[in-house]
C-alpha cells in the first residue's frame, strides 16, 4: 500500500524524498551539517538526482522510486534505532472510555468514604463560601449605591413641636424650585405611626409620654446634582425657620460606595487566601486517596502508565471535591441570605427602598461551581505532581 503510493508519487516529491534520504544517510555516517564540503557534495548529489529524474521517462522514475523506497526503509530503520518505541495513537473511543471509567471510580471512592468526603466538602464550602458571601455583599452594596444615586436628595428634619404649617410651607416652596423632582412631607404624626410599626422598640415611644419625632421633608432631585449644589441648598435650608438638621443623602451613598469598594478589596484578599486554603485542603485529601492506592499506582507505573494516565483518577477526585465544596458554599451563602433577608428588608424600607438581593443567580452558582472544580483540580495536580514523580515502583 505504502509502496504503491510511493510509486505513484509525482517526480518532484520523489526528488525531494531522494534528497532527504541522501541527507539522512550522510548525517547517519557522521557528516556534519556545518561541514562546507559535505554540504556541497550533498547539494551536488541532489541537483544531479533532480536533473536526472526530470530528464528520465516514467519507467526510470519508477525505478528511482523503488530505490528511494529502499533507502527510505533504511532511513526508517535508523530512525527506529534512535527512538524505537513510538506510542500508538490512542483511539478516541478508548480515551473517552478511560475517562468515563476514572470518573466513575472517583465517584465510587467519594461515595465509599462519605465521612472524609463530607468533611472535605464542608472545609471547601467554608473556604469558598466566605469570599462568595463577600461578593454577594459587595454586589448588593454596589447595587444600592447605583440604584439610589439618581434619586439622591436631602432630608430636612424640623424641630420637635414646630407648627405643622411651617414644614408645609417650606414643602410648597421647594416644589417650585428648579431641579427638584419631588418633596415628600412626613409629619410628626406619620413618623410616629411608622415608628410604631417597629414591634421591638415601639413601646419606647409610649414611655416618653408624647411624640418626640419631628416632621421631615424628603427632597429628591430630578437629575444627579453636584455635591456643591446640594451642599449650597442644604446650607440655605438650615437657615429656614423651624429646621433642626439637614442631611445630604449623597453622603450616605458615598459611604455605601466606599464600603462597597472596601468589601470588594477585602473579598479579593479573602478569596486569594481561602483559595490557597481550598487548594491545600483538596491537595491533602487527594494525597490521602493517592497513598491509599499506591499499590495500584506502582503497578501502573511498572506496566508503562504515564503520569497523566495515573493522575486522571485523582483529577476527577479533586474535581468532585471542588464541586461538592462549591455546592456547600452555595448552600452556606443561600442560608445566610435567607437569614438576613427580613431585617435587611426592614432596613431598606426605612430608606424607601425595596429588598432586591442581587448576585445570587444562575451565573453566580455556575461560576462558583467552576471555581470550586478548578481549585479542586489544582489541588490534585499539586498532590499528584510530587508523589508520582517520586513513586518507587518496588518500594
Q: How far is the CB of 87 from other proteins (least distance, A)?
A: 5
**Of the residues 66, 95, 227, 232, which one makes contact with other proteins according to CB under 8 A:** 95
> Which of these segments, 45-53, 91-99, 191-199, 229-237, binds other proteins (CB under 8 A)?
91-99
Distance CA 203, CA 195 (A): 10
29 binds other proteins (CB under 8 A): no
**Rounded distance between C-alpha atoms, residue 236 and residue 255, angstroms:** 24
Under a CB-based contact definition with an 8 Å cutoff, are residues 186 and 178 in contact? Answer: no
Q: Which of 51, 79, 90, 385 binds other proteins (CB under 8 A)?
A: 90
Binding other proteins by CB under 8 A: which of 47, 79, 97, 385?
97
Contact 380, 289 (CB under 8 A): no
- Does 99 bind other proteins (CB under 8 A)? Our answer is no
Nearer to other proteins by Cβ, of 195 and 309: the residue is 309
CB of 14: closest distance to other proteins in angstroms?
30
Helices assigned H by DSSP within 159-248: 165-175, 188-196, 202-208, 227-238
Is residue 84 close enough to count as binding other proteins by CB under 8 A?
yes
Task: Please identify which residue in 55, 82, 114, 178 interacts with other proteins, judged by CB under 8 A.
Answer: 82
Q: Is 112 an interacting residue with respect to other proteins (CB under 8 A)?
A: no
Closest Cα partner for 159 from 246, 235, 248?
246
Among 50, 149, 301, 358, binds other proteins (CB under 8 A): 301
Q: Which is nearer to other proteins, 87 or 362 (CB)?
A: 87
How many CB atoms lie under 10 A from the CB of residue 199?
A: 7
Scanning residues 304 to 323, which ones bind other proteins (CB under 8 A)? 304-307, 309
> Using CA atoms in the order 121, 122, 124, 129, what is the torsion angle rounded to 10 degrees?
130
Minimal distance in Å, beta carbon 84 to other proteins? 5
* Number of neighbouring beta carbons within 10 Å of residue 380: 30
Q: What character string, x for contact with other proteins (CB under 8 A) and - otherwise, covers 48-67?
A: --------------------
Length of the chain (residues)? 395
Positions of E strands within 207-291? 216-221, 243-248
- Tell me how far apart the alpha carbons of residues 143 and 131 are, in angstroms, rounded to a whole number: 18
Residue 53 Cβ vs other proteins, minimum distance, rounded to whole Å: 33
Binding mask 269-298 for other proteins (x = CB under 8 A): --------------------------xx-x
Helix (H) or strand (E) holding 19: helix 11-28
Around Cβ 171, how many Cβ atoms within 10 Å?
A: 17
The residues with which 221 forms a beta bridge, in sequence order, are 180
| Interface with other proteins, residue 381, by CB under 8 A | no
Residues in the interface with other proteins (CB under 8 A) total 32
Q: Does 299 bind other proteins (CB under 8 A)?
A: yes
Residues that bind other proteins (CB under 8 A): 80-88, 90-91, 93-95, 97-98, 295-296, 298-307, 309, 392-394
Amino acid at each position: 500500500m505504502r509502496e504503491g503510493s510511493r510509486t505513484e508519487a509525482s517526480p518532484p516529491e520523489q526528488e525531494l524524498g531522494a534528497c532527504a534520504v541522501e541527507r539522512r544517510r550522510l548525517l547517519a555516517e557522521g557528516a556534519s551539517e556545518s561541514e562546507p564540503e559535505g554540504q556541497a557534495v550533498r547539494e551536488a548529489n541532489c541537483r544531479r538526482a533532480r536533473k536526472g529524474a526530470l530528464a528520465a521517462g516514467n519507467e526510470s522514475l519508477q525505478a528511482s522510486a523503488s530505490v528511494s523506497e529502499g533507502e527510505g526503509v533504511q532511513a526508517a530503520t535508523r530512525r527506529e534505532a534512535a527512538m524505537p518505541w513510538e506510542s500508538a495513537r490512542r483511539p478516541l473511543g478508548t480515551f473517552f472510555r478511560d475517562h468515563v471509567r476514572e470518573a466513575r471510580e472517583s465517584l465510587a471512592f467519594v461515595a465509599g468514604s462519605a465521612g472524609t468526603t463530607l468533611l472535605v466538602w464542608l472545609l471547601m464550602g467554608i473556604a469558598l463560601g466566605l469570599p462568595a458571601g463577600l461578593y454577594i455583599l459587595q454586589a448588593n452594596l454596589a447595587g444600592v449605591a447605583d440604584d439610589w444615586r439618581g434619586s439622591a436628595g436631602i432630608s430636612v428634619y424640623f424641630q420637635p413641636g414646630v407648627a405643622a404649617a411651617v414644614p408645609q410651607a417650606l414643602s410648597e416652596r421647594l416644589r417650585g424650585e428648579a431641579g427638584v423632582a419631588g418633596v415628600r412631607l412626613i409629619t410628626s404624626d406619620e413618623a410616629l405611626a411608622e415608628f410604631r410599626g417597629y414591634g421591638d422598640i415601639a413601646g419606647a415611644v409610649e414611655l416618653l409620654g408624647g411624640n418626640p419625632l419631628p416632621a421631615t421633608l424628603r427632597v429628591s432631585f430630578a437629575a444627579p446634582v453636584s455635591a456643591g449644589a446640594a451642599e449650597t441648598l442644604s446650607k440655605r435650608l438650615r437657615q429656614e425657620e423651624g429646621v433642626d438638621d439637614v442631611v445630604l443623602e449623597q453622603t450616605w451613598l458615598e459611604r455605601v460606595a466606599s464600603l462597597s469598594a472596601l468589601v470588594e478589596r477585602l473579598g479579593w484578599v479573602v478569596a486569594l487566601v481561602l483559595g490557597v486554603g481550598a487548594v491545600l485542603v483538596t491537595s491533602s485529601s487527594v494525597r490521602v486517596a493517592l497513598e491509599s492506592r499506591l499499590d495500584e499506582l506502582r503497578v501502573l507505573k511498572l506496566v508503562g502508565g504515564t503520569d497523566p494516565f495515573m493522575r486522571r483518577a485523582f483529577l476527577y477526585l479533586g474535581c468532585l471535591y471542588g464541586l461538592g465544596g462549591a455546592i456547600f458554599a452555595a448552600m452556606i451563602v443561600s442560608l445566610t441570605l435567607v437569614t438576613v433577608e427580613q431585617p435587611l428588608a426592614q432596613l431598606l424600607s426605612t430608606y424607601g427602598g425595596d429588598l432586591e438581593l442581587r448576585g445570587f443567580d444562575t451565573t453566580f452558582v455556575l461560576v462558583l461551581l467552576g471555581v470550586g472544580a478548578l481549585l479542586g483540580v489544582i489541588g490534585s495536580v499539586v498532590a499528584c505532581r510530587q508523589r508520582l514523580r517520586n513513586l518507587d515502583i518496588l518500594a
